């Protein structure tokens, strides 16, 4: 097994040292790729400094803020080209617990995609306002009804993939971001016949920094599910 965790960043200087160290400490087999969108707060410089003391840290610097979806797609393509066979994604802000990484690595032995689910065993979200929780939970119900995907948490971003499953996806066709990106990746893998497992996690709101959530991300997800459904019906996905 050759696992790596891909983490997109933009202005995560308050979290970057902690999250990189926590990921590396979670399992000695794990490497990490930071995909930074030219953060003006010096996030990438901090990563370069950490690289001096560890050969398990990789950095991809992009010229500007280009979005979560493209960050993951470029990161996935890069680490696949380097021969990593297990690829995880998670947030930089500690909303995803690095101590769960070993659970993902155990489960991925039997599946193609393992999703850290906030809703597979009740509701496991800490410190979210009620309005955001209702929005997230409702978005997942909406996604299940429209797409037919049997996934309780299709919008979550704590996931583990087999590289062999990711390699079946044409990343050039993916243009979504945020919630929509997570839904689209799940849908494309699901219709490809991927074996998918949800495991319960506890999601904590970010410790520091500013959330990237906005209304355009929500609107994109609302329309994406219909777009994917019809593209699949007509064989254009």
- Name 8's bridge partners: 35
Cα 154 off chain centre by: 11
CA distances from 38 to 10, 91, 137, 181, 216 (A): 7, 17, 32, 21, 22
- The DSSP line for 87-98 is EEE--SSSSS-G
pLDDT at 186: 97
CATH number, domain 3-233 = 3.90.550.10
Q: What is the pTM of this model?
A: 0.92
Q: How confident is the model over 90-126, as pLDDT tens digits?
A: 999 999 999 999 999 999 999 999 999 999 999 999 9
Check if the beta carbon of residue 83 is closer than 8 Å to that of residue 64. Answer: no
CB contact burial 127-156 (16+ within 10 A = b; e otherwise): ebeeeeeebbbebbebbeeebebebbbbbb
Give φ, ψ of 204 to 5 degrees. Answer: -105, 135
Q: How confident is the model over 129-183, as pLDDT tens digits?
A: 999 999 999 999 999 999 999 999 999 999 999 999 999 999 999 989 878 999 9
Q: Check pLDDT > 70 for residue 209.
A: no
Domain segments of the chain as ranges: 3-233
């Amino acid at each position: 097994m050759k696992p790596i965790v891909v983490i997109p960043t933009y202005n995560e200087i308050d979290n970057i040292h902690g999250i990189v160290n926590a990921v590396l400490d979670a399992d000695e087999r794990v490497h990490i790729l930071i995909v930074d969108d030219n953060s003006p707060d010096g996030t990438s410089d901090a990563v370069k400094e950490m690289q001096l003391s560890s050969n398990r840290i990789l950095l991809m610097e992009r010229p500007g803020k280009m979005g979560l979806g493209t960050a993951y797609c470029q990161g996935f393509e890069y680490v696949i080209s380097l021969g990593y066979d297990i690829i995880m994604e998670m947030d930089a802000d500690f909303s995803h617990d690095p101590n769960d990484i070993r659970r993902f690595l155990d489960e991925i032995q039997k599946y193609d995609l393992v999703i850290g689910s906030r809703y597979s065993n009740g509701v496991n979200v800490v410190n979210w306002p009620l309005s955001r929780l209702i929005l997230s939970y409702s978005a997942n119900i909406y996604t299940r009804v429209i797409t037919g995907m049997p996934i309780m948490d299709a919008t979550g971003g704590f996931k583990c993939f087999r590289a062999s499953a990711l390699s079946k996806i044409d990343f050039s066709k993916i243009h979504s971001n945020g919630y929509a990106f997570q839904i689209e990746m799940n849908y494309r893998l699901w219709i490809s016949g991927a074996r998918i497992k949800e495991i319960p996690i506890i999601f904590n709101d970010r410790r520091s920094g500013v959330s990237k959530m906005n209304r355009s991300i929500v609107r994109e997800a609302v329309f994406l599910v219909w777009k994917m459904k019809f593209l699949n019906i007509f064989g254009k996905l």
